[in-house]
Homo-oligomer: A and B are copies of this chain.
Amino acid sequence: MISSDVIRGYNDTIILYLLLEKESYGYEISKRIKELSDEKYIIKETTLYSAFNRLLKKGFIQSFHKEQTFGKKRTYYKITEAGLLYYKEKCREWELTKEVINRFIKE
């Protein structure tokens, strides 16, 4: 299991990646993270929803509703152009970070 302090800088990036695949909503995204990480990272609900708010405020995602006939109303999110740029920047940063941290890791 991965500790949250480690992944802290990448929660937003992870969410943006999944929204790049397709527009989605909280519960689905949390399932997808669990699935894609082989259960090695399970994001906390509160962490996820506070990330959504942060990303909304920064204009990296947009929220909307779909007409549903049943079930509790979902808030859907999609990535914006600015969000895509931010995601790409984070990807480059990640390559650099890997390289740098590797220098302080033994075998």
Contacts and interface: CB of A to CB of B under 8 A. Distances in A.
B37 A2 contact: no
A8 interface: yes
A91 B101 CA distance: 10
B36 A101 contact: no
A85 to B, nearest CB: 13
A106 B93 contact: no
18 contacts: A2-B93, A2-B100, A5-B8, A6-B10, A6-B93, A6-B97, A7-B97, A7-B101, A10-B101, A10-B104, A14-B101, A20-B106, A36-B104, A37-B100, A37-B103, A40-B96, A40-B100, A94-B105
A87 B101 CA distance: 13
Given A91-B105, A103-B36, A7 B7 contact: no
Interface of A: 2-3, 5-10, 13-14, 17-18, 20, 36-37, 40-41, 87-88, 91, 93-94, 96-98, 100-101, 103-107
Contacts of A88: 106
